[in-house]
Amino acid sequence: MNDIDVLLDERRRFRPADDFRQHAVVRDPSVYERAAADPEAYWAARARELDWFTPWNRVMEWTPPHVKWFLGGTLNVSVNCVDRHLATRRDKTAILWEGEPGDRRTLTYGELSHEVNRCANALRTLGVGRGDRVAIYLPLVPEAAIAMLACTRIGAIHSVVFGGFSPDSLRDRINDAGAKLLITGDIGYRRGNPVPLKRNADTAVAACLSIEHVVVVQRTPGTPAAGAAFHAPRDVWWHDVMRHASPDCVPERMDAEDVLYILYTSGTTGRPKGIVHTTGGYLTGVAATTKDVFDLHEDDVFWCTADVGWVTGHSYVVYGPLANGATTMLYEGAPDWPDKDRFWALCESHRVTVLYTAPTAIRAFMKWGDAYPARHDLSRLRLLGSVGEPINPEAWIWYRRHIGGDRCPVVDTWWQTETGAIVISPLPGITETKPGSATVALPGYSAELLDRGGKVIPVGGGFLAMTRPWPSMLRTIWGDDARYAETYFSKWPQRPDLYFAGDGAKRDEDAYFWILGRVDDVLNVAGHRIGTMEVESVLVSHPAVAEAAVVGRQHDIKGQALAAFVTLRAGRQSSNELRDELRRHVVDKIGAIARPDDVLFTADLPKTRSGKIMRRLLRDIAEGRALGDTTTLADPAVVAGLKEQYESMES
């Protein structure tokens, strides 16, 4: 018996076009077999694409749940991301930046080197050294990438905290990591409004004993922002410390297994987990996957729209592209500022060739309508990527058609903060894609679908697991190794070597994976376990719908009844007729089992700050419970409004 039922059957297929295939970075499908035959040799070859001070003497050591890669090898991440490109790419643009108000900056590799070296020396002067933790709480400005790279140069461990987090979240993260120094900005911008970063930082740091200095980047032009109090000697301006710093900084020789960074991600219990990544394995994984999955060529302009506060920003805004000597674009602001075509204006004016964004953004673009991308020349784009949530087949098709001009391959990439790098994804010159499927694991990885007992499910639904360690895997949870073992390696007690990803998935007859969502969200209706993704995708396939979230609520007879929260496309009106039509649509496409009892129309869904739908809160609403923890929400007003609407609907 399958642990998760499979409902949907998506039949559309897309093969790589001949001209794309011929020029692709990875063209030879035999790479999968070669990597599977000897994964350690495969990863060692990928690691050799980096610059090492001293080679490793052992590729991998696995004593579950702990792994080490490239034992005895030494390297420096900033050397790999900057120095080694200077001979051939000194004048090539490394960072292409646009601020929300439209200000622009570019940094060549030569200029980036200068800045990273000076920042590294400035950090040393402020007392930061090898192994010390540095918290970074900045808007998406070039200084964020410079600060991260500067930390790696001197062996300091960075912990980037997304600039949209509250003072309390920042405080908890600083305290958990015991950070010595905080780098922040006077303000940030969000939809034209200044965000008081420094004020938030001051509130946080008031309760952080470990912080010795706060370095403040001046984001506002002219005189520093009013209202940002300055507490000398604790506080120092970025431009002051940089002015006095030398542009030559000898890089630390880091052990492959030295900690590179900590990145906090929310866990089920509310207390955030500090995911720990190390140096050699992480850089190997992100460098290899950036090159292969995004088919990086020398003249590409690569835009990953994530903030550096998320793992996607670490791996595919900063480390992966720069390790490959690519041009990486950073955009500070919102996609709908000043208008809903900002992304397309950016793609056009910066001649973006590869775009990597999230389903939450793609569904927002669908909701806003086709006219916005149609205003711009997107013909430079040649490859599109998606990450962060399951992408509904209809959103995938919309992305391919309206952004990719039916020309660009779409790579749906599955991975996690914990995996460090992309795990399941098409290779765009090789893989035939199916909308809604992340396809198969990349060479060198071993992902499987397992049932509750740990048995492999070749076709059907089950739990996604990794059966062998991979280089960019998290090494532990900062300060809580027991939680690490418990969270990731205890799902199958008789097999403590299996990594449990927390996601449900199905596998089709071609062994393609279809991620169904977090197993905590799986629905249980009359004994059938249903992933939220499939019902949501059917709703999104209705022409009136842009986005949908489905949750289960207690039901005396069925166990659970389904409640659907639906966002309509621009120009479509909610009505009782549409509600009935959507119910019928689900019954037609899936069957009566998935018929939603409740259908609620809403302008917005509650989302985390990184854009994932928070189904847990929707369950609270559907079951009439008091709302649980809403502190991780991007916009708490959304749930309050929904709760009111739901209650009035029931009465």
How many helices (H) and strands (E) the chain has is answered by: 22, 30
Sole binder of ligand WTA in the list 438, 449, 473, 594 (CB under 6 A)? 438
| Binding residue for ligand WTA, selected from 224, 502, 636, 641, defined by CB under 6 A | 502
Single residue of 258, 412, 547, 620 touching ligand WTA by CB under 6 A: 412
Report if residue 413 touches ligand WTA, rule: CB under 6 A: yes
CB of 399 to ligand WTA, least distance (A): 13
Q: Which of residues 347-406 bind ligand WTA (CB under 6 A)?
A: 387-390
Length in residues, the chain: 651
Task: Return the closest-CA partner of residue 533 out of 553, 554, 512, 519.
Answer: 519
Stretch that binds ligand WTA, among 86-94, 323-331, 501-509, 624-632 (CB under 6 A): 501-509
Among 265, 467, 574, 645, binds ligand WTA (CB under 6 A): 265
The DSSP code for 250 is P
Q: Which is nearer to ligand WTA, 4 or 154 (CB)?
A: 4
Considering the complex, what minimum distance in angstroms separates the CB of residue 631 from ligand WTA?
A: 17
Q: How far is the CB of 310 from ligand WTA (least distance, A)?
A: 6
CA 27, CA 473: separation in Å to the nearest integer? 26
CB 3 within 8 A of CB 529: yes
State in angstroms the smallest separation of the CB of 618 from ligand WTA. Answer: 16
CB of 516 to ligand WTA, least distance (A): 8
Q: What would the two tokens of residue 255 be?
A: 């052990």
Collapsed DSSP state (helix, strand, coil) of residue 385: strand
Please check whether residue 210 is in contact with residue 182, taking contact to mean a CB–CB distance below 8 angstroms.
no
Q: Measured from the CB atom, is 156 or 501 closer to ligand WTA?
A: 501
Report the residue from 200, 312, 327, 487 that binds ligand WTA according to the rule CB under 6 A. Answer: 312
Question: Which residue, 123 or 391, has its beta carbon nearer to ligand WTA?
Answer: 391
# residues near ligand WTA by CB under 6 A = 21
Residue 32 CB, shortest distance to ligand WTA, in Å, is: 19
Smallest gap from residue 515 Cβ to ligand WTA (A) = 4
Distances (CA, A) of 63 to 73, 281, 485: 19, 16, 12
Among 503, 521, 534, 536, binds ligand WTA (CB under 6 A): 503
Question: Of the candidates 207, 132, 216, which has an alpha carbon nearest to the alpha carbon of residue 171?
Answer: 207
Query: Is 415 among the residues that bind ligand WTA (CB under 6 A)?
Result: yes
Nearest-approach distance from CB 389 to ligand WTA, in angstroms: 5
470 is a site residue for ligand WTA (CB under 6 A): no
Structure tokens at 358: 């999230």
Identity of the residue, 6 or 181, whose beta carbon is nearer to ligand WTA in the bound complex: 6
Minimum distance of ligand WTA from residue 608's CB (angstroms): 8
Rounded Cα–Cα distance for residues 532 and 487 (Å):
22
Span interacting with ligand WTA, options 170-178, 370-378, 500-508, 642-650, rule CB under 6 A:
500-508
Only one of the segments 293-301, 498-506, 579-587, 622-630 lies at the binding site for ligand WTA (rule: CB under 6 A); that segment is 498-506
Q: Which stretch binds ligand WTA (CB under 6 A): 160-168, 170-178, 409-417, 567-575?
A: 409-417
Q: Is 427 exposed, middle or buried (0-12, 13-18, 19+ CB in 10 A)?
A: buried
Among 76, 80, 200, 610, interactor with ligand WTA by CB under 6 A: 610
By the rule CB under 6 A, 219 interacts with ligand WTA: no
Which listed range, 25-33, 305-313, 445-453, 559-567, lies at the site for ligand WTA (CB under 6 A)? 305-313
Q: Least Å distance between CB 523 and ligand WTA?
A: 16
Tracing tokens 């489905």 back to the chain, one arrives at 550
d(CA 404, CA 411): 12
Residue 231, burial from CB neighbour count under 10 angstroms (0-12, 13-18, 19+): exposed
* Strand 254-255, strand 74-75: pairing: antiparallel
173: closest CA among 183, 159, 185, 163?
159
Q: Which distant-in-sequence residues (6+ apart) come within 8 Å of 583 by Cβ?
A: 595, 596, 599
Task: Assess 518 for contact with ligand WTA (CB under 6 A).
Answer: yes
515 binds ligand WTA (CB under 6 A): yes
290 is a contact residue toward ligand WTA (CB under 6 A): no
Say which DSSP state 365 is in.
H
Contact yes or no for 378/405 (Cβ under 8 A): yes
Q: Is 286 in the site for ligand WTA (CB under 6 A)?
A: no
- Rg for the chain, CA atoms, rounded: 24
**Which of 74, 159, 324, 417 contacts ligand WTA by CB under 6 A?**
417
Give the range of 84-92, 250-258, 306-314, 481-489 binding ligand WTA by CB under 6 A: 306-314
Question: If binding is defined by CB under 6 A, does position 414 make contact with ligand WTA?
Answer: yes
Query: Using CA atoms in the order 384, 387, 391, 395, what is the torsion angle rounded to 10 degrees?
Result: -40
Main-chain phi, psi angles of 487, to 5 degrees:
-70, -40
Nearest to 411 by CA among 41, 97, 25, 145: 25
Contact 119, 147 (CB under 8 A): yes
Q: Looking at beta carbons only, is 242 or 308 nearer to ligand WTA?
A: 308
Structure tokens at 423: 């795990």
Residue 416 in the binding site for ligand WTA (CB under 6 A): yes
The secondary structure of 260-294 as a DSSP string is: EEEEEE--TTSSPEEEEEEHHHHHHHHHHHHHHHT
Q: How far is the CB of 413 from ligand WTA (least distance, A)?
A: 5
Nearer to ligand WTA, 381 or 410 (CB): 410
Q: Which of 311, 449, 457, 618 binds ligand WTA (CB under 6 A)?
A: 311
- Determine the residue type at 217: V
Q: Would you tell me which residues interact with ligand WTA (CB under 6 A)?
A: 265, 310-312, 387-390, 412-417, 438, 501-503, 515, 518, 610
